[in-house]
Structure 1
């Protein structure tokens, strides 16, 4: 997080009221027994060097802040945390043939953003339940389910030139049965859109795995 504090626009994002930053699981170090909370090797090792993506942090807005906790008229199924954002420090070795970020890498960032939104909802939902706090009945129950990427429709808007920090944001759209629909985009610090995505994740009862 210290790195992003040196970049004014990043620091402004992280200092907004009710923003909760956290270290991605793929950037945590093993505990004393060598255990890591993730099996992710791609972001944990392959992309983690000074020429690829050396710095990476996530944040979301506290769902229990006064602004977020206002009574909503819409009672359709939803996620507890409706949006999550990644800050990723991209360097030239993520470039493709034309010297801008590889399209596959951009798609990977989008998948990571959507997965991060699902992850933080799972963690915070279960934490709130353990604390005995009540939640609206339309919030998706994260217990006993596993969730997977089912589809991503990515649209590339403009070349993503190196080196720069980008903002990848995933936002909840709707739930239809076991299907969770989410939107995502990758932007520059001044708001230029490099790519957008309409994604769908499937929820599967763990006993069926």
Structure 2
């Protein structure tokens, strides 16, 4: 675990709601791939721009450990602590940021499955992300984002993702299609 993820883990373990889910049996806890800067400014949005005490102060992903390599991990969950630098209206997260979070956690689900050998393609990109805003996402707050694979079909991966508050109310949802890229960009 990277040092920054240790701070994020401590942050979420200090919250009883988060701690109860992070301490479930057979749970893998990880720093999301996008939170780690890549060479050539890769993942700069979540690794730098949205990684700070006034934006996304803490971010961790967790999922049930797969029974064996190559099997699909059907769902992941992520905790994110949102701060006022993400406001659209005072006390409300900007809708574009909510969509960005839905897209990022959906992509993290694909990355986890690529590492586990369940998705063989090196790069998938968002083809569409149909989003529903149900209730405002409050800021500051800690949210739970759940992403699940609904279908794998050749080069296509279909994902449903939701943003929930501590009471379990769905604040936003998305249905997405991610397609494996042919060749280089």
Give the whole-Å Cα distance in 1 for the aligned partners of 2:154 and 2:115: 21
Q: Partner residue of 1:184?
A: 161
**Cα distance, 1:36 vs. partner?**
5.4
**1:107 equivalent in structure 2:** 99
Which residue is 2:5 aligned to?
A: none
Report how far residue 204 of structure 1 moved: 3.1
Q: Provide Cα deviations, 1:80-131, integer angstroms capped at 9, x if missing partner.
A: 1111111100011211036411100000000011000001111122xxxxxx
Maintained 8 Å contact 1:79/1:172: no
Larger Rg: 1
Gaps of 5+ in 1: 66-77, 126-139
1:193–1:13 CA distance, 2 compared to 1 (3 A):
same
Matched, 1:147 2:124: yes
Q: TM-score, normalised by structure 1?
A: 0.77
CA contact (8 A) 1:25 1:38 kept: no
Does the CA-based 8 Å contact 1:26-1:38 persist in structure 2?
no
1:73 alignment partner in structure 2: none
> Would you say the 8 A contact 1:180–1:201 is kept in 2?
yes
Question: Partners in 1 of 2:32 and 2:155 — Cα distance?
Answer: 26
Q: Which residue of 1 aligns with 2:150?
A: 173
The verdict on how the C-alpha distance between 1:189 and 1:198 changes in structure 2, with shifts beyond 3 A counting, is same
Residues in 2 aligned to 1:81 and 1:37: alpha-carbon distance in whole angstroms: 30
Give yes or no for contact 1:146–1:203 (8 Å, CA) kept in 2: yes
Partner of 1:198: 175
Contact 2:127-2:179 within 8 A present in 1 as well: yes
Contact between 2:71 and 2:116, CA under 8 Å: does it hold in 1?
no
Q: Structure 2: which 5+ residue stretches go unaligned?
A: 1-8
| Residue 4 (str. 1) matches residue 9 (str. 2) | no
Aligned-pair CA distance for 1:79: 6.4
Q: Aligned-residue CA RMSD in angstroms?
A: 2.4
Q: Would the alpha carbon gap of residues 64 and 99 (structure 1) be closer, same or farther in structure 2, given more than 3 Å must change? A: same
After TM superposition, give the deviation of residue 27 of structure 1 in Å.
3.5
Tell me, yes or no, if structure 1 residue 55 matches structure 2 residue 58: yes
TM-score (norm 2): 0.86
